Amino acid sequence: MGMTITEKILADHAGLKEVTPGQLIDAEVDVALGNDITAPLAIEAFKEMGGKRVFDRKKVILVPDHFTPNKDIQSAEQCRLMRKFAKEQQLSHYFEVGRMGIEHALLPEKGLVGPGDLIIGADSHTCTYGALGAFATGVGSTDLAAAMATGKVWLRVPETIKFIYYGRRQPWVGGKDLILYTIGDIGVDGALYKAMEFSGEAISALDMAGRFTVANMAIEAGAKNGIFPPDEVTLGYIQGRIKKDYKLYNSDADARYSEVREYDVSSIEPQVACPPSPANVKGVKELAGVEIDQVVIGSCTNGRVEDLRVAASIIRGKKIPPNVRLIVIPATQDIYLQALREGLLEVFVEAEAAVSTPTCGPCLGGHMGVLGKGEVAIATTNRNFVGRMGHPDSQVYLSNPAVAAASAIKGRITHPEEVAKE
């Protein structure tokens, strides 16, 4: 019996010829990642367990991105602890403010993760790197501490659900809509501790930005990881970026799947997840007219330059209504510079939006856009739980950048075609 791409990566990293779902393994990690919320806890645990030196100073990566630039004394202390540890351990990859970016956009951009890698991160959206054909999953801070010390992590091999997408996408439909539609179909626990393997002609047609978005939100369906078979698009992205060795894995023709689900993307319109769950999904036309107070375009889900280009194409030459706040956050410094050079930031500022340095900020209700009581936001982020972006009586809708941009112009949830025709 053959193996899936996920099983092959795990088998190789465990030094085994094969693995089966449910099997417990001890696997070597290629990257161990922490941020300014989770790394301080991991550092404390690392020291409590008697850790002296990390297993490999090139493979432990720390990125302050959630509360940075520091919003208060507590966040400043968190980052100071990280900075001190990075210096003590002589880590090759600690990204200070001004050099940092939102971690899950930054690591692929810098070529620090690649096909065939086994990556763990003390952040649930570490699954983003599965877009490159890697096994990537979130872990707790204690597991991160153990990996920093030993270079290993124990895992239970997940079953795999295969998702096949065929057909041609409608205008204004991207990766965000495919994954929202999927989560709406299977629910927030529909892939609980399973691998989500994405395939089909519609997946092959997605650019890397769209693939990162899809993989990023696998965790919102409860998945252990999301993964794409690497192809020419993958290789085109990593060319000139990745300096280390990598390996391309693909599932065998007789690989075992717990389930296979198929979707015709030609019937999918832009999707919006309504509060309070990423699975509470409706077509944008069903929600037309819902008034909003704030729009956020950015995050590890949709803060790439491709996302900013789409938003700018809709906003160009228009103004945000005075009762609406639009916050635009390029995901990394390189994306910020590219958006600047292309004139995208000028489009946003002239529309009277606020443009921020890279930060997770508003996505987790951290800063740079916290919602007040009763306020309504639409965001290109990945979660809309109660209190996710601020006050527990606020509401968050999730969408792609085109819907978010159109909604910012109209002050209500809007299909992009309405604004594009004007």
Res 420: pLDDT: 85
CB 393 within 8 Å of CB 407: no
According to the model, what pLDDT value does residue 167 have? Answer: 98
Residue pair 281/274 in contact by the 8 Å Cβ criterion: yes
What predicted TM-score, i.e. pTM, was given to this entire model?
Answer: 0.97
Q: In angstroms, rounded to a whole number, what is the distance separating the alpha carbons of residues 394 and 373?
A: 5
**Per-residue pLDDT, 142:** 97
The C-alpha atoms of residue 290 and residue 31 are separated, in whole angstroms, by 43
Mean pLDDT, rounded, for 370-396 = 98
Residue 326 has pLDDT above 90, yes or no: yes
Residue 90, number of CB atoms within 10 A of its CB: 11
Assign domain 271-420 to its CATH architecture.
2-Layer Sandwich (3.30)
Question: Do the strands 152-156 and 159-166 form a parallel or antiparallel pair, or are they unpaired?
Answer: unpaired
Average pLDDT over residues 289-309: 98
Q: Are 330 and 349 in contact (CB under 8 A)?
A: no
328 φ/ψ angles, rounded to the nearest 5 degrees: -115, 130
pLDDT tens digits for range 51-78: 999 999 999 999 999 998 999 999 999 9
Q: Could you tell me which residues are beta bridge partners of residue 263?
A: 165
pLDDT in tens, 254-286: 999 999 999 999 999 999 999 999 999 999 999
Which positions ≥6 away from 79 have C-beta within 8 Å? 36, 64, 67, 68, 70
Q: What is the pLDDT of residue 157?
A: 98
pLDDT at 298: 98
Outline which parts of the chain fall under CATH 3.30.499.10.
5-263, 271-420
Burial per residue of 217-244, b for 16 or more beta-carbon CB atoms within 10 angstroms, e otherwise: bbbbbbbbbbbbbbeebbeebbeeebee
Q: What is the mean pLDDT of the chain?
A: 97
pLDDT band at 1 (very low <50, low <70, confident <90, very high): confident
pLDDT surpasses 90 at 360:
yes
- Output b/e per residue, 370-381; b: 16+ Cβ within 10 A: bbeeebbbbbbb
pLDDT for the residue 378: 98
Mean pLDDT of 112-122: 98
**230 prior amide bond cis, ω within 30:** no
Q: Which CATH architecture has domain 5-263?
A: 2-Layer Sandwich (3.30)
CA distances from 260 to 133, 256, 268, 321 (A): 19, 10, 19, 45
Residues of the chain with pLDDT > 90, as a percent, come to: 99
Residue with tokens 């990075």: 86
Inform me whether the pLDDT recorded for 422 exceeds 90: no
Q: What pLDDT was estimated at residue 421?
A: 80
Residue-wise pLDDT tens digits, 73-108: 999 999 999 999 999 999 999 999 999 999 999 999
